[in-house]
Amino acid sequence: MKRPLAVIAALALAAGCGVAAPSATPASDDFEEDVETARVLTEGFWARRLGGSYRPVTDFVAYSGDNGPACGGGVAAPDNAFYCPDGHFIAYDETWLRSLWKELGDGSVYVIVLHEFGHAVQAQLQTSFEFNIQQELQADCYAGGTLSALVAGGELRADPGDEEELLTNLAAAGDPEEDWFDPAAHGTAEQRQRSFLTGYRSGVEGCR
């Protein structure tokens, strides 16, 4: 199976924080490594971007099905990933994300993990929105801007076909129809793709 977004960063994890050390050796086709790489590189990007005001997430939790952590009185759902402002952590259904990684390629990891970190940044910046869909589309934009910066900085390598794979992942996660008043709305496939590409082409500063 094709694995675009071949990583050219070896992970050097220090206690309490993640640091990506450049390496000429591409990472192997490994799900756990892709997830951890996405986490470490994204935290590094936002730490550089926001400086001392950036707070790393307190935890990055893998769960399975109904066994996820609670968040603000709510229960983690299967087939999902989420940022929890109560506790400032990110959690993801490992079985679900692994299945996407196998079926759609490693782009799924870089879309989903970077999107959830976008929500963590929104919380730190205390960004407010009238509709939930606006929050979700900005997180897509942040994901695109983060990924673009990581590619431009040489921490990830973009191969031919990567953009199409990423857009396929976003299309698969899109809502069937537009509904701005739905508190669970994330945006249609077209809206999510457009927001991601805005970030990828304009950087996170273009995510309004």
- Name the pTM for this structure: 0.80
How does residue 195 score in pLDDT terms, banded at 50, 70 and 90? very high
Percent of the chain whose predicted confidence (pLDDT) is above 70: 73
Q: Which of 13-27, 67-81, 108-122, 132-146 bottoms out in mean pLDDT, i.e. has the lowest?
A: 13-27
Token pair 């970077």 is found at 114
- On the question of pLDDT at 206 being above 80, the answer is yes
Residue 173 pLDDT level (bands cut at 50, 70, 90): low
CA proximity to 131, closest of 174, 206, 182? 182
pLDDT at 87 exceeding the cut of 80: yes
Q: Rounded to an integer, what distance in angstroms lies between the CA atom of residue 162 and that of residue 76? A: 31
On average, the pLDDT of the chain sits at 80
Q: How would you write 132-165 as a 3-class SS string?
A: HHHHHHHHHHHHHHHHHHHHHCCCECCCCCHHHH
77: which 2 tokens? Answer: 């759902």
Q: What is the mean pLDDT of residues 124-147?
A: 94
Segments making up each domain of the chain, as ranges: 9-53+107-206
Distances (CA, A) of 166 to 22, 84, 115, 128, 207: 24, 24, 12, 27, 18
Confidence tier at 71 by pLDDT (50, 70, 90): very high
Which amino acid appears at position 33 of this protein? E
